[in-house]
Amino acid sequence: MAAPRRPSEASRSIRAAAGPPLQQTTDPGAVPQIRAEVTEVAHTAGERLRPTRITVDLAGDLHSFLRAYAQARDVAAADVIRELIRQVRADPDLSGRVTAELERRREALAEAMRAARE
């Protein structure tokens, strides 16, 4: 069995440019307890609409944080993600902050990629 590869200088600089993951700032008791949603989303003219499944790759630290956050609140990780999406959709200030952070990370990644090519 081959030994695991060490990250290249380029991948280390890309990870460093992306910055640390967002940290939990909410008191665990401040988040209401919710249970998994019913899989049936809506009825339109008698037609049953089903939710769309997505797959998201997470870095280990983000996965651990999400799992611990959900377990501490006795909710499913998918419920946490659904609520985050709802809040980004409903809150223009939050949406703006997320958009600005995504742009900052995109620029940092582009810079790291340029530096890695040099």
Residue 74 lies in a domain: yes
> Is a pLDDT exceeding 70 seen at residue 63?
yes
Domain extent at residue 103: 59-118
Kindly report, residue by residue over 6-44, the tens digit of the pLDDT: 666 655 555 555 555 555 455 544 444 444 444 444 455
Percent of the chain scoring above 90 in pLDDT: 54
Structural domain count of the chain? 1
- pLDDT score for 12: 59
Residue 64, pLDDT score:
97
Domain contains 40: no
Mean pLDDT score of the chain: 78
In this predicted model, what pLDDT tens digit does every residue of 81-92 receive, in sequence order?
A: 999 999 999 999
In angstroms, the CA 64 to CA 61 distance is 5
How much is the pTM? 0.58
3-state secondary structure the chain: CCCCCCCCHHHHHHHHHHCCCCCCCCCHHHCCCCCCCCCCCEEECCEEECCCCCCCCCCHHHHHHHHHHHHHCCCCHHHHHHHHHHHHHHCHHHHHHHHHHHHHHHHHHHHHHHHHHC
Q: Which amino acid is at 78?
A: A
In a domain? residue 9: no
**pLDDT tier for residue 49 given thresholds of 50, 70 and 90:** confident
What is residue 112's predicted lDDT score, i.e. its pLDDT? 94
